[in-house]
Amino acid sequence: MADGKEDPAVFSSASLPSDPRLLATLTNAYLGTRVYRDILHVNGVYNGAAGDTHRADVPSPVNVRMTVPGADSLAETFTLNTRTGTFSHVLRSTDFTATHQIYAHHSLVHLMAFSISIRRSAHTAQPITVQLQTPFVPKSQDLDLNQGPDFQGAHYVYGKTLVPEVEGGPCPTVHMLWTPVPEALTLRGEEPERSWEFLTAVAESEEEAKRSYGEGLALIAAGSLHSSHAHAWAALWRGCCIDLDGPLPLRQALYGCLYYLLSALPPQGNPGFVFHGISPGGLSNGTQGECYWGHVFWDQDTWMFPNILLFYPEAARAILEYRIRTLEGALRNAQEQGYQGAKFPWESAATGREVCPEEIYGAQEIHITGDVLLAFEQYYCTTQDQKLFREDGGWKLVGAVAQYWCSRMVWSEEEQCYHIKGVMPPDEYHYRVDNSVYTNAVAQRSLNFAADVARDFLIPVPEEWVDCAKKVKVPFDAEKKYHPEYDGYSPGEPVKQADVVLLGFPLMHPMSSEVRRNDLEMYEPVTELDGPAMTWSMFAVGWLELKEAQRAQSQLNKCFSNITEPFKVWVENSDGSGAVNFLTGMGGFLQAVLFGYTGFRITKTSLRFDPVLPDDINKLKVNGVSYFGNKLKFTITKEEIRIKVTESPRDPPASPLEAVLEESGQRFPLREGRRVSFPTVAGWIQRSSPKAF
């Protein structure tokens, strides 16, 4: 390792952060909590109507703290091991070692568990007792909890949420079983070592809760509860990894970001799992008044999704299925605002209806609808999964979004183009503006994609889609050669966060290098320095595109003020305010490496690459990139690119691929198990035809 022997994926400390919001989070796709927190949350279970809807607080039986009163010279260590998705607390004296491990089981997603282990030193024979502090009370402000009969030694409560999201809507029921926790555990004098395991099972049916609890008991009996969890995490890391030969803090940041984002993903090989999206603070956060109440924003589709897509298209599909399932709510949102088609809510929970507590965002920050469709486009271009679009509701959503954009545009006789009026751009310092350049460009992209899919499916393309896409205004100042943020924007006006710079990436809106540079230079000095954490990663991507690696690195380094110690939990704003465990910022940071250093760009026909590495990074390894069913490993240095197909499934067969170099046109067939290498230049990966070789 570049900085000695320290493992960049393991975060240890002798003390906990003073702010409990910054404790490590333990989540899987269904359950989430913060270490030593008295509540946990369940995927898709909200309480409260409309703007008051928030993640329902479920009392947490895993909130247990281990102490050994009276022990001499105790050494204490708290560790988050991102490789195994496990938090541990170790107390060590000359006589014994006591270890408390907590985890949300990655593959058995209805289970959370913890264990206490005591191991004595060889020279002692005294009983050793650890105290367990358990403030658990089976009550909730969001659930009407009732006590049921014990089951296989577990206590049992169940209850419905109190208030539905929409009038007449469902109130989900939560069922929870847990192993009772004693006040103390003792290692007897004759025992060298002993472990105790404690289970919590949560589900929306009694049958599922009992089945999961029984499955956990069987694994405990076999001695493999934690090892089965660690095995699932090992498989996850095998399928995706970003590592580099460079500074330790950067490597740690990458492992931290990947851990927290991977924690949120649906389990592999479980296509029936109903996923309810990813909120900015993840499943561990989102109680009333915290982390945007656990609502889903564009943060999921724009900031997190591209990373997930490149590594785990199956999980990316589950995110898109969430949007498809909430399409009816989006259709109602558009109708209520007087438009056609589907308008996705600025803040979404279980139904797709607008649940933003403040009306202005739901009414004006309409770029979210284009952001959702951009995720569908990226998925379509990297998977060609036509089933999602033809059979599973994707095409209906695509058409409804195109319809919405057409109905939202008005024709300007004066300018002879379409306008989109009265919006809030991504830069939320400005509102009720006309022709937000980002909003209009993403609308144009939505319409072009809808038309492309229609042609692929041999469906007639509505003339209106083509006309609106061609004639929508995308503001541009031909004299200063830059994109004004909206009609009437004056250079120098303060900007809250990344906005116009998103035209270059992820929108890839056509522009010259000169204009791209001007946009970056125009907006960099006026963008809020302490604003949302994802901003500077997009400036970094822009400078990397222009081959200014050191300038890019100075932007990316700003992100480190949002990363807290010791568990690498991100805060939304560098002053510590806003959401915590801010997955949005982590997603942006990962994109700066995954799409910035590599130059990856998803296009209609290829996955482009054009790497550039800063001075302090000698090698970048990206393992597990998914493209048309294949898994690829990229190893990039300043001199050479190596590509290897690590997996190429045969049932159904993955498309054969080739690498093409841009300048020379040279082609390299990519076959499973073989490695190709060539100088570090621009090129692309594409599907190869049999004629190619």
**Would you name the residues annotated as active-site residues?**
428
Rg (the chain; Cα; Å): 26
- Residue 335: which residues within 8 A CB-CB, separation 6 or more? none
- Report yes or no: 508 and 544 within 8 Å, Cβ to Cβ: no
Angle between helices 394-408 and 327-336 in degrees, nearest 10: 10
Q: How far apart are CA 81 and CA 259, in angstroms?
A: 9
DSSP structural state of residue 35: T
For residue 443, which amino acid is it?
Answer: A
Q: Under a CB-based contact definition with an 8 Å cutoff, are residues 29 and 264 in contact? A: yes
Cβ neighbours of 170 (radius 10 Å): 12
| DSSP structure string for 110-171 | TEEEEEEEEEE-TT--S-EEEEEE----S--SSEEEEEEEEETTEEEEEEEESS-SSTT---
Tallying the residues shown for the chain, one arrives at 693
DSSP letters, 246-292, are: S-HHHHHHHHHHHHHHHHTSPPTT-TT-------TT-TT---TTSGG
Residues with Cβ within 8 Å of residue 44, at least 6 apart in sequence: 172, 274, 276, 350
CB proximity list for 570: less than 8 A, separation 6 or greater: 257, 260, 533, 562, 563, 564, 580, 581, 582, 583, 585, 586
Pairing of strands 601-602, 607-609: antiparallel
C-alpha 400/C-alpha 404 separation (Å) is 6
Tracing tokens 């599907």 back to the chain, one arrives at 687
Using omega within 30 degrees of 0 as the cis cutoff, is the peptide bond preceding 652 cis?
yes
Q: How many CB atoms lie within 10 A of CB 522?
A: 23
Question: Exposure pattern of 447-459 as b/e (b: 16+ CB <10 Å)?
Answer: bbbbbbbbeeeee
Beta-strand runs (E) in 374-520: 410-412, 417-419
CB under 8 Å, gap of 24 or more: what pairs does 546-552 form? 546/513, 546/516, 546/517, 546/520, 547/612, 549/612, 549/613, 549/614, 549/615, 550/614, 550/615, 552/592, 552/596, 552/612, 552/614
297 to each of 269, 293, 357, 378, 466, how far by Cα in Å?
26, 11, 13, 18, 28
Q: What is the DSSP string of 508-522?
A: -----HHHHHHHHHH
Residue tagged 């496990």 (tokens): 86
Separation between Cα atoms, residue 143 and residue 133, nearest integer Å: 24
- Residues 6 or more apart from 263 whose CB is under 8 A from it? 25, 26, 27, 28, 32, 85, 104, 282
User: Tokens 């996923």 — which residue?
Assistant: 275
